[in-house]
Structure 1
Amino acid sequence: AVVSFTGVAVAVVSFTSIGVAVVSFSDGSVTVVSFSGVPVAVSFSRISVVAVSFNDIAVVVVSFASIGVAVVSFSDGSV
């Protein structure tokens, strides 16, 4: 899922074949969130990334609290 807003960092969430989500932001920071069957939460400034794995299908919710936008992506390609 790719989300772009004027004046807001762009978040790109992609999944690999080994169940790893790479979250990168336009400011250059890169966070790798691995799924081991345990929910993983990573917090950024005004940006919250919550990753949960269900039966090898990873669910990532990227929430932009300041503008009330949430993007849910699934590793099977559905959005």
Structure 2
Amino acid sequence: MRKVIEGCILESDVDNIRWNNSIPIKINIHSWRLSNNRLPTRINLDAQGIDLHSVRCPICDEDMETPSTHVY
């Protein structure tokens, strides 16, 4: 499944991700949000003024939770 997604998304232009009908809409939306830094990570929530206990990743607790470093 990963190879299908990579073939459809990663080789295409960012604007084409939204309109790719060969993969589920939720993956299209997630990819668009990731490419535009719109995922609700702790660092993004903190930047919007939402009070959080910590911006560190709750899984590894070693680094700030950002889309570029913590997308699994």
Report the TM-score range of the alignment, normalised by the length of the smaller protein: under 0.3
TM-score, length basis structure 1 = 0.25
Rg: which structure is higher? 2
Q: TM-score, normalised by structure 2?
A: 0.26
